[in-house]
Amino acid sequence: MKRWLKRCLQTGMRSDVAWKIAQHFPVRGINTARKVVLANRLIRQFDGQAVVQAGPFQGLIYPTLHANGSELLPKLFGTYESELHGAIRAARTESFDHIVDIGCAEGYYAVGLARLFPAAKVVAFDISDRARELCRAMAAANGTTNVEVRAACTKDDLRRLAGPGRHLVISDCEGFERRLFDGEIARQLAESFVIIEMHDHEDPTTSAALTAWFRQTHRVEIISSIPDRVKASQYQSAAVEGRDLIEKEAAFAERRGDTPTLWLVGVPHSLRRSGTRLRTFAPPSLAIDGTGRIARPSS
């Protein structure tokens, strides 16, 4: 019965007229159905292959319209995890020997960073066969020959990859970070940028432990995710121009739930001593316009 009702709602909500009428009635599920329909409509506009429109990975080719374990549209619009854009801009002032992406999914960060740092060797890890297949396909589509895709990442992998030199480590491994990182690994990464998504719902000690370890060698900032409804109210795109807040949320929502996501961004203390200018990583209010640029929304 629930599946039948869901199909009926999604079919009915394909009509803009039906939506304008239905939104005046407190029928549970109508907003959700409308978001699904609009999201699918927007995805179909990319017609099989897509290019990221804005953000630090603007121009990144998606050979298939599939995101592994996350929402696709924010990645295509370039607003995905915009909370981290400041950290990525800061990292771009450096050069790296290795870039390590733990939990690479379809390759958004691994291949995106490979394009930004063509001289670095990018090693992308994921335990999912499908994710590794998609990441290799994305690397091939973008001509990034500096990407190597592997399965599970271990402490020994980190020790080998984080040898002498400067590296960038980005991690989203769904709670495994609490076991993968420790004080010894943090010290070995003393000269490296780190961006770690922390999953305290898997282990409530995660953020406190990682912060304590990395503060010994890094300037640490903890960044919290922006709610989907806030992103929908601030971001702009020609694709959803004139649409209401519910429909804009369909385009920009990352669906992280009620609990904010926390990221640890660690910048080596040595950069202070070398005079490198450090940034505050809190994201500005962003808008994405029809030209593919990200800018502050007009007041």
Q: 26 in a domain, yes or no? A: no
Residue 38 counted as domain residue: no
pTM over 0.95: no
CA distances (Å), origin 108, targets 89, 200, 250: 16, 23, 20
What angle is formed at CA 281 by the lines to CA 169 and CA 237, rounded to 5 degrees? Answer: 100
**Residue 76: C-alpha distances to residues 62, 70, 161, 178, 288 (Å):** 8, 12, 30, 30, 11
Q: How many domains does the chain have?
A: 1
pLDDT tens for the 299 residues of the chain, in order: 445 544 554 444 445 544 454 454 445 555 566 566 666 777 677 766 689 988 999 999 999 999 999 999 999 989 999 999 999 999 999 999 999 999 999 999 999 999 999 999 999 999 999 999 999 999 999 999 999 999 999 999 999 998 888 999 999 999 999 999 999 999 999 999 999 999 999 999 999 999 999 999 999 999 999 999 888 888 877 777 777 787 788 888 898 888 899 999 999 988 765 544 444 444 444 444 433 333 333 33
Asked if the structure places residue 195 within a domain, the reply is yes
In a domain, 172, yes or no: yes
> CATH number of the domain that 65 lies in?
3.40.50.150
Q: Does residue 241 lie in a domain region? A: no
- Dihedral, CA atoms, 188, 191, 192, 198, nearest 10 degrees? 60
Residue 109 lies in a domain: yes
Burial annotation 107-128 (CB, 10 A radius, 16+ → b, else e): bbbbbbbbbbbeebbbbbbbeb
Q: How far is CA 296 from CA 80, 91, 236, 244, 286, in A?
A: 16, 22, 10, 19, 5
Q: Helix, strand, or coil here: 167? A: strand
> What's the domain range around 163?
45-225+260-295
183 assigned to some structural domain: yes
